[in-house]
Amino acid sequence: MLDDPIFPRKMEMAAAKYKVGDVVRLKSGGPDMTVQSVSDKNMSDQLSRELLGDDDTIKCQWFSGTKLQHGRFNPQTLESVNSDED
């Protein structure tokens, strides 16, 4: 899959799918998480690349009990959470 010439474009499109404030979760399950930042490996801003990473990643935060957690995820491992579920 990594040698697929379309793979980098798929990653870029997946990262563009999410924006700060979106609620997501891992496709495999887990807690709802809020998108904190979206990193694009094509960023021209050196500081942004250093802070967010060089790869297309989605930085999310969530609560585990009362403790705030955070992590970086490949956008293809995430799915949007429908906020209309009440």
Q: b/e per residue, 74-86, with b = 16+ CB within 10 A?
A: ebbebeeeeeeee
Domain containing residue 32 = 7-80
Please give the Cα distance from 56 to 77 (Å, whole number).
Answer: 12
Q: Is residue 86, in this structure, part of any structural domain at all?
A: no
Kindly report, residue by residue over 14-64, the tens digit of the pLDDT.
557 899 999 999 999 999 999 999 876 655 555 555 555 556 789 999 999
Q: How many domains does the chain have?
A: 1
More confident residue, 86 or 45: 45
Residues constituting the chain: 86
Q: Is residue 22, in this structure, part of any structural domain at all?
A: yes
- Listed in sequence order, the DSSP H helices in the chain are 7-16, 46-52
